[in-house]
Amino acid sequence: MSDQNWLQRLTKSEKDKWIGGVCGGLGMYTPIPSWTWRLLFTVLFLCGGAGFVIYILLWIFLPKGPEQGVQP
């Protein structure tokens, strides 16, 4: 077992992605499903644009995940 927590292993998903794979990656490494992350980012975007800024930053800074979508 790895000494890393889920935040240290967080990557973008190559399998479950619509735009950049951020929500798919969050869904893979947290107990919250990816559709809920997508809904959350959409609501934050509509309520002032914060969802867009956060999503873009995560898209830039999260590393690319494995091609086969290996589950932790």
DSSP 15-47: SS-SSSSHHHHHHHHSSS-HHHHHHHHHHHHHT
Q: Is residue 24 part of a domain?
A: yes
Q: Is residue 1 part of a domain?
A: no
Task: Answer yes or no: is pLDDT of 72 > 60.
Answer: no
- Report pLDDT for 7: 57
What pLDDT digit, counting tens, does each position of 13-56 carry? 788 778 888 888 888 888 999 899 999 999 999 998 888 898 89
Q: Is this prediction's pTM over 0.85?
A: no
Q: Is residue 72 part of a domain?
A: no
How many angstroms separate the CA atoms of 24 and 21, rounded? Answer: 5
Residue 29 domain boundaries:
6-61
Q: Is residue 45 part of a domain?
A: yes
How many angstroms separate the CA atoms of 55 and 22, rounded? Answer: 7
- Are residues 42 and 5 in contact, defined by beta-carbon separation less than 8 angstroms? no
Q: Is residue 69 part of a domain?
A: no
Q: Is residue 47 part of a domain?
A: yes
Q: How many domains does the chain contain in total?
A: 1
- Give bridge partners of residue 12 from the DSSP assignment: 64
- Report pLDDT for 43: 94
